[in-house]
Structure 1
Amino acid sequence: MEKNAKAVLLRIYIGESDRYEGKPLYRYLVELFRKEGFYGTTVLRGITGFGMTSRIHSHSILRLSTDLPVVVEVVDSREKIEQIKPALEEIISGGLVTEEEVTICFYRSDEDEA
């Protein structure tokens, strides 16, 4: 991706225990985005959160949750994001998906330096 290019950040808020086709949902999504050739994906595990049910999920010693919040982030062109959204609607049975326009400051790997 070129420097200062416009892109879309898609954020998917799900639970750690969510599954799809026998796999953790976050792992399934990472594999899907990789297979579809997206620039990259990151999975973030939350320490506390709540969703539509307002039930708090927490990584507290007193209340150890087995369903911590997870955020899957993927950045790519508007076209690629729009292409994948119908599939995501089928795959994600519970959660929240948001998007926002972003500007790429730079995009490179360690291998670019070699």
Structure 2
Amino acid sequence: MKNGDGAGLLRIYTDERAIVGDRPLFELVVERAHAAGLAGATVLRGRLGYGRSTLIHSHRLFDLADELPMVVEIIDEEPALRAFTESISDLDKIGVITLEKVEVLRASSRSVAEAPHGGSHE
């Protein structure tokens, strides 16, 4: 990804109890984004939120099983993000997906071979 226009930020909303098989949904999404060669992905854990169910999800001190909101943010060129969205349409526990244009002010100049763990981008 280069500096400038044409980049997008994809946000995928879910919750931490969303599981596919025996795996957290957010992990699966990040792994698929990595396999698709997208520039970068980050998972954010919310402290409070609600969605379609209108139930407010929050961290409660003595709860063993939180159902906190999770957001997967993925950045790359818009066409690649649109294609990726289609490739995850089989995952039914995904909530809202948004896409917005962003201007990349600084992109990593490091190649995949130089990245830590053999393939992560900054």
TM-score (normalizing by structure 1): 0.86
Dislocated runs of 4+, deviation >3 Å:
62-65, 109-112
What's 2:56 paired with? 56
Q: Render the CA deviation track for 1:43-99: whole Å, top value 9, x for unaligned.
A: 000011111011111013266652110000001111211211222222143411011
| 1:25 equivalent in alignment to 2:25 | yes
| Contact in 1 for aligned 2:14/2:93 (Cα 8 Å) | no
Q: Is the deviation greater in 65-74 or in 35-44?
A: 65-74
| Contact in 1 for aligned 2:41/2:72 (Cα 8 Å) | yes
Name the CA distance, whole Å, in 2 between partners of 1:64 and 1:20: 20
| Contact in 2 for aligned 1:59/1:65 (Cα 8 Å) | no
> Partner of 1:91: helix, strand, or coil?
coil
> Partner of 2:27: helix, strand, or coil?
helix
> Partner of 1:107: helix, strand, or coil?
coil
| 1:3 equivalent in alignment to 2:3 | yes
TM-score (normalizing by structure 2): 0.81
> Partner of 1:81: helix, strand, or coil?
helix
Task: Give the alignment's Cα RMSD to 1 decimal.
Answer: 2.0
What's 1:43 paired with? 43
Q: How many residues align?
A: 112
1:99-114 mapped onto 2 (5 Å cutoff): 99-108=99-108
Q: Give the counterpart letter for 2:8 in structure 1.
A: V
Q: Give the counterpart letter for 1:96 in structure 2.
A: V
Name the CA distance, whole Å, in 2 between partners of 1:64 and 1:48: 16
Where structure 2 has 5 or more consecutive residues not aligned to the other structure, the ranges are 116-122
| Contact in 1 for aligned 2:43/2:71 (Cα 8 Å) | yes
Where structure 1 has 5 or more consecutive residues not aligned to the other structure, the ranges are none
What's 1:93 paired with? 93
What's 2:13 paired with? 13
